[in-house]
């Protein structure tokens, strides 16, 4: 039932996006009048075929005999719950059975969860790694058993067992955060100097460096010229990383920074956080321990429910939204092609007819054994000003009567 509702919502959203004449994920239905987004899907037959549940890829032969193993890092960080349920829903709607596991952010548990999935003879593994460096041995077992592996969202390193990577353009996520800060402070024209502190992600996650570098590459020239200053002096990835992307770790570190470098009244202009779980901790630290009364610009990524509430309340300034529902659709179509014995390439994107932007990339992601062909979706900036058109109108979230957002699915 829930599947049908989601499909209808997303289908309607895609109808709105088509009516607006733009791609779904990258350019949310900004021009789609609200009324149109409510139009029954029946009035937009062209869009109907693009609903995720009716993915354009031909079904895998004998899908019903096949089980897809889906391994997500943890259910303690909001987004992986959504990924897990979208992936399960996609593969089941195409006729497959699924086994979905969450590994509590513990590397050993993920290894043993994967061992169990391999022992259960799954036909395909979709894996978001906890530690990208720790799965070589277990994935060799998958390879030996002839089980193809899709590296999902996070690149798995040092193994030739994975054949494809599906993610968002991770460097662009950081770049969008850096550009947002540059534009919000008008760094090219304003006199400054402005004070900024960085909070990055888990060093075990290959994505974390991409996010950080994307942001720093935009902001470094202003740091070099003195227009942006980092009072803590913590500018390297290692110094600003957050183990396990954990909210409490980010909070603790930021309280220390505020206590050590800002208690004398030094003004903090920007807290650049790589994602929402870290932004949540940093925002709490600022609320409890920052002496200044200016509004600190706080960035994030994911559109977690609590962070969107903070955006509505003016506590967090922006988030980079990644439509994981679409990431699941891309993974299904790729998985079906692999199971059908094909060797997917850029042609999959055209063949699938996705109504969201996706690039086929064969240069950015080297996992130590060579380049891993990647399907990269496009992230979107959300702020208080575009929450409705970027997230509600396309059907990803609902908005309650107080203006707060709640994820669908």
- For ligand BGC, the closer of residues 50 and 79 by Cβ is 79
Q: What's the min distance (Å) between Cβ of 110 and ligand BGC?
A: 14
Pairing of strands 318-321, 380-383: antiparallel
Residue with smallest beta-carbon separation from ligand BGC: 275
Q: What's the min distance (Å) between Cβ of 1 and ligand BGC?
A: 28
Secondary structure string (H, E, C) spanning 180-240 = HHHHHHCCCCCCCCEEEEEECCCCCCHHHHHHHHHHHHHHHHHHHCCCEECCCCCCCHHHH
Which residues sit at the interface with ligand BGC, rule CB under 6 A?
Answer: 77, 79, 153-154, 201, 205, 207, 245, 275, 277, 301-302, 322
- For ligand BGC, the closer of residues 77 and 87 by Cβ is 77
- For ligand BGC, the closer of residues 185 and 298 by Cβ is 298
Q: What's the min distance (Å) between Cβ of 186 and ligand BGC?
A: 28
- For ligand BGC, the closer of residues 78 and 389 by Cβ is 78
- For ligand BGC, the closer of residues 105 and 195 by Cβ is 105
Long-range contacts of 135-144 (CB under 8 A, 24+ apart): 135/110, 135/111, 135/159, 136/161, 137/111, 138/111, 138/114, 139/114, 141/115, 142/114, 142/118
Q: What's the min distance (Å) between Cβ of 177 and ligand BGC?
A: 12
Q: What's the min distance (Å) between Cβ of 42 and ligand BGC?
A: 35
> Which secondary-structure segment (H or E) carries 374?
strand 374-377
- For ligand BGC, the closer of residues 103 and 207 by Cβ is 207
Q: What's the min distance (Å) between Cβ of 245 and ligand BGC?
A: 4
DSSP for 98-129?
EEEEE-TT-HHHHHHHHHHHHHTT-SEEEE--
CA distance 104 to 198: 26
Residues 357, 26 contacting (CB under 8 angstroms): yes
């Amino acid at each position: 039932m829930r599947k049908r509702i989601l499909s209808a919502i997303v289908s309607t959203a895609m109808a709105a996006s088509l009516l607006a004449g733009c791609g779904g994920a990258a350019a949310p239905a900004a021009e789609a009048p609200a009324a149109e987004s409510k139009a029954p899907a029946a009035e937009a037959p062209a869009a109907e075929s693009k609903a995720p549940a009716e993915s354009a890829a031909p079904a895998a032969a004998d899908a019903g005999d096949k089980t897809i193993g889906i391994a997500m890092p943890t259910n303690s960080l909001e987004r992986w719950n959504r990924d897990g349920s979208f992936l399960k829903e996609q593969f089941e709607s195409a006729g497959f059975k699924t086994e979905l596991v969450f590994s509590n952010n513990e590397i050993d548990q993920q290894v043993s969860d994967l061992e169990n999935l391999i022992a259960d003879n799954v036909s395909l593994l979709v894996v978001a790694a906890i530690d990208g460096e720790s799965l070589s041995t277990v994935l060799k077992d998958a390879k030996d058993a002839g089980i193809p592996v899709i590296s999902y969202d996070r690149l798995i390193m040092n193994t030739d067992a994975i054949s494809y990577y599906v993610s968002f353009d991770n460097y662009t996520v950081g770049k969008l955060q850096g550009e947002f800060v540059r534009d919000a402070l008008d760094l090219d024209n304003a006199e400054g100097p402005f004070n900024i502190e960085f909070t990055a992600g888990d060093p075990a996650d290959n994505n974390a460096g991409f996010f950080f570098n994307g942001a720093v590459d935009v902001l470094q020239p202003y740091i070099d010229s003195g227009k942006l200053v980092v009072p803590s002096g913590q500018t390297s990835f290692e110094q600003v990383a957050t183990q396990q992307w954990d909210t409490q770790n980010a909070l603790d570190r930021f309280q220390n920074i505020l206590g050590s470098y800002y208690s004398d009244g030094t003004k903090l202009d920007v807290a650049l956080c790589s994602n929402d779980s870290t932004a949540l901790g940093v925002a709490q630290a600022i609320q409890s321990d920052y002496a200044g009364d200016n509004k600190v610009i706080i960035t994030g990524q994911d559109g977690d429910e609590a962070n969107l509430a903070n955006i509505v309340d003016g506590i967090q300034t922006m988030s980079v939204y990644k439509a994981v529902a679409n990431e699941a659709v891309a993974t299904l179509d790729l998985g079906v092609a692999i199971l059908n014995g094909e060797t997917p390439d850029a042609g999959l994107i055209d063949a699938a007819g996705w109504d969201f932007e996706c690039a086929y990339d064969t240069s950015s992601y080297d996992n130590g054994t060579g380049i891993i062909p990647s399907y990269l979706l496009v992230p979107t900036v959300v702020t208080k000003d575009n929450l409705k058109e970027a997230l509600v109108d396309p059907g990803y979230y609902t908005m309650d009567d107080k203006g707060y957002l709640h994820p669908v699915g």
